[in-house]
Amino acid sequence: MNHRFDVELVSVTKRYGETTAVDGISLRIPPASYCCLLGPSGCGKTSTLRMIAGHEVVSEGDVLIHDQNVTDLPPLERGTAMMFQSYALFPHLSCLDNVAFSLKMRGTAKAERHARAREYLALVHMEGFADRLPAQLSGGQQQRVALARSLITRPRVLLLDEPLSALDPFLRSRVREELKRLQRELGITFIHVTHSQDEAMALADLMVVMQDGHIRQAGPPREVFERPVSAFVARFIGGHNVLAGPGGPIAVRADRCRLGAAGDGPHLPGRVAAVEYQGSSVRVALSVGEGQDASVLVPDEQFYAEPVAPGDSATLVWRERDAHALAEMG
């Protein structure tokens, strides 16, 4: 590998008139990464992706791909390919011709483009569907064909905007596995925009949490989950209690908390607000302290040995070493 980063953003800003959608973000994506851009609606994920693709003009800053400054290059010269939320295949073209389409535009001869298209259909396990029209495929199958269509141009970076949001939960996890496999096999960088924490945690090598046009935290999912830097990140990725500690806000994972009798360690008395069965565990929501909410994930066996119900008083207990300080309550 003779470049340091597959994609680098240097103080990139995007303004639409008065609105600053992306506010001076910097990010380095190492070669062959699965990078997920995660954040609530309107935080600037899609604008960031579109600036990398060249579909949106950068207001300030630079975009580098394979260490080359592409800020002023048109999309076709960047070596990126984009797959959209609505993966809109051409309805009147067979799967084979859909996949071969971009090669046709480039003037590749028919025999060669069909051979290449078959190769890419095979890559997504759709070689048996070459002659079908998109309407004769399931949503998940259309998704795979759309992937093959994006990959046939041999991009250096594949950009995916909410690629799984149109699929039902079962298919979503199947296609998710497929995306990860493809990324690994092809050895290129995928940048995947999502508002789903689960999706980002399952897929990413590098998880980038955005809010209000800023990157709040970037790192491997496990690092972000174990050490969220702010209350916003802790709440957004879920699974944490954000509590007011004596020295400022703290985060404690819900699965590291328990319901119990107060010992010497940290604890907060409260009341059970709700009980949710989740299969392998039961989530007990509590009101603790002064109007704070918390939850405890109790392993199912343990919960049913000593069940609690809404209205019961209960004490939230955790270990000092499982709590860590947050930068701000945010």
Ligand X SMILES: Nc1ncnc2c1ncn2[C@@H]1O[C@H](COP(=O)(O)OP(=O)(O)OP(=O)(O)O)[C@@H](O)[C@H]1O
- Binding range to ligand X, per CB under 6 A, among 41-49, 117-125, 184-192, 258-266: 41-49
- Binding range to ligand X, per CB under 6 A, among 39-47, 65-73, 107-115, 147-155: 39-47
Rounded CA separation 112/103 (Å)? 9
CB nearer ligand X, residue 118 or residue 195: 195
Q: Among 41, 44, 69, 72, which Cα is nearest to 58's?
A: 72
Site string for ligand X, 78-97 (x = CB under 6 A): --------------------
Binder among 19, 26, 86, 313 for ligand X (CB under 6 A)? 19
C-beta of 72: minimal distance to ligand X in Å?
A: 20
Q: Are 134 and 126 in contact (CB under 8 A)?
A: no
C-beta of 240: minimal distance to ligand X in Å?
A: 22
C-beta of 18: minimal distance to ligand X in Å?
A: 9
Burial track 200-232 (b if 16+ CB lie within 10 A, e otherwise): bbbbbbbbbbbbebebbbbbebeebbeebbbbb
C-beta of 165: minimal distance to ligand X in Å?
A: 10
Q: Are 7 and 189 in contact (CB under 8 A)?
A: yes
Residues numbered 216 to 235 that lie near ligand X (CB under 6 A) are: none
Binder among 7, 9, 35, 43 for ligand X (CB under 6 A)? 43
C-beta of 14: minimal distance to ligand X in Å?
A: 7
Q: Residue 44 interacts with ligand X (CB under 6 A)?
A: yes
Q: Among 164, 224, 215, 192, which Cα is nearest to 44's?
A: 215
- Binding range to ligand X, per CB under 6 A, among 38-46, 99-107, 109-117, 288-296: 38-46
- Binding range to ligand X, per CB under 6 A, among 34-42, 86-94, 125-133, 287-295: 34-42
Rounded CA separation 182/161 (Å)? 16
C-beta of 194: minimal distance to ligand X in Å?
A: 9
Q: Residue 113 interacts with ligand X (CB under 6 A)?
A: no
Total residues at the site for ligand X (CB under 6 A)? 12
Q: Residue 42 interacts with ligand X (CB under 6 A)?
A: yes
Paired with 284 in beta bridges are 275, 296
Rounded CA separation 182/188 (Å)? 9
Q: Is 318 exposed, middle or buried (0-12, 13-18, 19+ CB in 10 A)?
A: buried
| Signed CA dihedral, 98, 100, 103, 107: sign only | negative
Rounded CA separation 73/57 (Å)? 10
Binder among 16, 90, 277, 304 for ligand X (CB under 6 A)? 16
> For residue 129, what are its two tokens?
């569907």
Binder among 39, 54, 221, 228 for ligand X (CB under 6 A)? 39
> For residue 20, what are its two tokens?
């600053």
Binder among 3, 118, 195, 235 for ligand X (CB under 6 A)? 195
Binding residues for ligand X (CB under 6 A):
16, 19, 21, 39, 41-47, 195
